Structure 1
Amino acid sequence: MILHELISYDVLRLIWWLILGVLLIGFAVSDGFDLGVGTLLPFVAKTDIERRVVINTIGPVWEGNQVWLILGGGAIFAAWPPLYAVSFSGFYLAMFAILFALILRPVGFKFRSKRDSAQWRNRWDWVLFIGGFVPSLIFGVAVGNVLQGVPFRFDSDLKIFYEGTFFGLLNPFALLCGLLSVAMLVMHGSSWLVVKTSGEIAERARRFGAMASLATLVLFALGGIWLWAGIEGYRITSAISAGAPSNPLNKEVVQEPGAWLTNYAAHPWMLIAPIVGLVGAAMAFVGFNGRRELTVFAASKLSIFGIISTVGLSMFPFILPSSIEPKASLTVWDASSSHLTLFIMLVVTVIFLPLILAYTAWVYKVLWGKVEEKAITDEDSHAY
């Protein structure tokens, strides 16, 4: 038996769907608080030294956290080529805006304190705000559009045609998802600041975090109601072979109201995901008001896990529906790389992902503790 046949094609596809989910959640949980802190920077810190303290809570870790985004993009490119082709071409301007905002972040860190000018530093603080807010918003808007379906189709040779516009992405439901994403990551950033700072900064972070967690709770619930009442989901009506070669056109798909909720009726255990999203946000709200530092950080991560898992479980097996040609929708069973490619990538992942996790855990252990003003103002400090 050939080695890669030890794991069947359909199982490998399912494993890579799970891995993609893990990478996206990993990015939201790790780099998510970096984005949230950037969004909060002009509001949670008033003086120059306070803003330097806030920046230095994420300064040593943001680069490592951003690796999860790179891993997610790499996984999409290698494991789901049609998904990569459609999303990175159809969402080109949105992706460019995200990358531009993310590029601003290291530039802001490096240049902010190069001049002893209040006006100069204030401008860079708003640059860092853009670097946090814009990706947070656009990531949510993208998810909102995915849930509604993206306007793409294939010809008979599987050549991809995208027929949408950038401003078409800015529809009401997608904007609600964008606001949910911002609220969720501001909640997470606030929880990080509560853990890593003290005094006035931590108190302001608690206030912003309480508001953000409440907004997360309300927006997530509202999004679920909207998805149930006003958004058409997608359902496969023909037989589909989970182990056949990838060809998105070998199926029939219909759009119908409430289709994104059918998985919960068929598999009630999936309801754990939205419940965890709501309970995590509620626990974070209670934790912010009760000044429970580690509890609120754990609750924030729990809410992120539940919210992102809800999207994946609601859509399964779809990974990118088509709004103009439903049968062209990409699913777990017909949009992956070959059997051998998925197997080789899985072997590489099994080897290197634990190393990344171990290194990340070690870094956080070394850097654990609160960032104090004294450490920032010390003459021998290497702080930003």
Structure 2
Amino acid sequence: MIFDYPTLKLIWWLLVGVLLVGFAIMDGHDMGVGTLLPFVGKNDEERRVVINTVGPHWDGNQVWFITGGGAIFAAWPIVYATAFSGFYWAMLAVLWALFFRPVGFDYRSKIHNATWRSTWDWGLFIGGAVPPLIFGVAFGNLLQGVPFHFDDTLVPYYTGSFWGLLNPFALLAGVVSTAMITFHGAIYLAHRTEGDIQRRSITAALIFGVLMLVGFTAAGLWIANGSIGYAITSAVDTAALPNPLAKTVELQPGAWLTNYDKAPLTMLVPALGYAGGIAALLLVWKGRTLAAFVASSFAIVGVIGTAGVSMFPFVMPSSTVPGASLTVWDAVSSHRTLGIMFWATLIFMPIIVAYTSWAYKVMAGKVTAAYIRENEHSAY
């Protein structure tokens, strides 16, 4: 292997983060558009305009979601198994919400019936709004610690409940996530449309952008002043084979801020969240929608990156048995598996990026009501 085991563990922490951010940026703006669909489109024609801004490529952007899930399964199998045990009903809710997207996009305009089309519009709203909310709630619970433990054979046991996941801090994280994705989608919609739809989209972007920044600040203050945080208090062999029970962990209020003290440059990550969000607000207000979309993408990198940097090296801390917490060093696959996956990613990731870039270049431009009328049978 060209990289040693500890280096590959760190690389895969970064790669999983890249895939999550890629999903939030690429599929996120599709979901944000779906969330806004019933509100920025006031009649059937306007809603068809909104749908056609994302209709041709939403399914291609799902690659980021699938790849991210596959990467977690292969790189962090214990995390995958434990998370799906604890978040089982939440993950099912995400899948049920996502079911509305393919059928909604494909069947919504097949029948000229107002009730039929309105029903699918709200289905697309559910498919766009529910996943970001649940993913945000999941991150909020990760930051607080998840109630799970292992037996002597490393079989995970989740001791919490579905309703326990809906605690105040987790709901705040869900608001931040939803606002962030809707903000991103509103900017994209403003870039691809004109007239009344564009004006409504800019208004939505200003509202949700401010909500994201306020929520992000509130969550940071909550962490800084609350009892959230975990720290490893024993020596860690970063080159050892995976064994999450071979360490000692303690609940330490304010521990999620430790990495910023140890490495001050990490402060650039949350700063990027603020800078990107503020820049996106100013740019979309000025009508510079493409630059605003780039800025909101950087905001997403900063917000998600802040959670990752704050928790490092933790991936999934345990609130009931802190020593069972899963980290970058002890919840991974073998050295060989990480190495093979690294080279596969090195080959296929550029292909995905190149294809996606080409597809967006081909589909660039405004979607208008005139386009919908001229392509009545081929448009969504």
CA distance in 2, matches of 1:170, 1:208: 26
CA distance in 2, matches of 1:95, 1:372: 36
Matches within 5 A, 1:218-229: 218-229=214-225
- Match of 2:12, SS state, is helix
Amino acid at match of 1:59: G
| 2:241 corresponds to | 245
Bigger shift: residues 150-159 or 109-118: 109-118
**Is residue 2:258 matched to residue 1:258?**
no
Report the CA distance shift for 1:379/1:145 in structure 2 as closer, same or farther (over 3 A): closer
Deviation at 1:231, TM superposition (A): 3.6
Amino acid at match of 1:172: P
Q: Can you list the C-alpha shifts for 1:220-254, whole angstroms capped at 9, x where unaligned?
A: 01100001111420100000000000000000000
Report the CA distance shift for 1:349/1:202 in structure 2 as closer, same or farther (over 3 A): same
Deviation at 1:90, TM superposition (A): 1.1
Amino acid at match of 1:219: G
Matches within 5 A, 1:168-247: 168-247=164-243
CA distance in 1, matches of 2:3, 2:295: 36
| 1:160 corresponds to | 156
CA distance in 1, matches of 2:287, 2:3: 48
Partner residue of 1:95 out of 91, 94, 102: 91
Q: Can you list the C-alpha shifts for 1:5-57, whole angstroms capped at 9, x where unaligned?
A: x3100000000000000000000000000110010000011010000000000
- Match of 1:164, SS state, is coil
Matches within 5 A, 1:43-82: 43-82=39-78
TM-score (norm 1): 0.98
Matches within 5 A, 1:115-130: 115-130=111-126
Q: Can you list the C-alpha shifts for 1:255-304, whole angstroms capped at 9, x where unaligned?
A: 11100000000000000011110111111221222111112111111110
CA distance in 2, matches of 1:17, 1:304: 17
Matches within 5 A, 1:279-318: 279-318=275-314
* Counterpart contact for 1:375–1:381, Cα < 8 Å: no
* Counterpart contact for 1:186–1:209, Cα < 8 Å: yes
Q: Any stretches of 5+ residues in structure 1 without a counterpart?
A: none
CA distance in 1, matches of 2:105, 2:376: 18
Q: Can you list the C-alpha shifts for 1:321-363, whole angstroms capped at 9, x where unaligned?
A: 0000001000000010000111011111111111111111111
CA distance in 2, matches of 1:295, 1:340: 42
Q: Can you list the C-alpha shifts for 1:293-321, whole angstroms capped at 9, x where unaligned?
A: 11211111111010000000000000000
CA distance in 2, matches of 1:191, 1:69: 21
CA distance in 2, matches of 1:268, 1:81: 32
Identity of aligned residues (%): 56
CA distance in 2, matches of 1:102, 1:320: 25
* Counterpart contact for 2:85–2:157, Cα < 8 Å: no
- Match of 1:235, SS state, is strand
* Counterpart contact for 2:243–2:330, Cα < 8 Å: yes
**Is residue 2:104 matched to residue 1:104?**
no
CA distance in 2, matches of 1:238, 1:298: 42
Amino acid at match of 1:345: M
CA distance in 2, matches of 1:281, 1:356: 27
Amino acid at match of 1:242: T
Partner residue of 2:79 out of 79, 83, 94: 83
Bigger shift: residues 370-379 or 165-174: 370-379
Deviation at 1:377, TM superposition (A): 1.2
CA distance in 2, matches of 1:206, 1:375: 22
Moved over 2 A (4+): none
CA distance in 1, matches of 2:361, 2:49: 19
Q: Any stretches of 5+ residues in structure 2 without a counterpart?
A: none
* Counterpart contact for 1:234–1:321, Cα < 8 Å: yes
Deviation at 1:381, TM superposition (A): 4.9
Q: RMSD of the alignment, in Å? A: 0.9
Bigger shift: residues 245-254 or 373-382: 373-382
Q: Can you list the C-alpha shifts for 1:130-167, whole angstroms capped at 9, x where unaligned?
A: 11111111010000000001111011111111111111
**Is residue 2:339 matched to residue 1:382?**
no
Q: Can you list the C-alpha shifts for 1:74-129, whole angstroms capped at 9, x where unaligned?
A: 00100100000011121110000101111111111112112211122111111111
CA distance in 2, matches of 1:120, 1:288: 34
Matches within 5 A, 1:16-27: 16-27=12-23
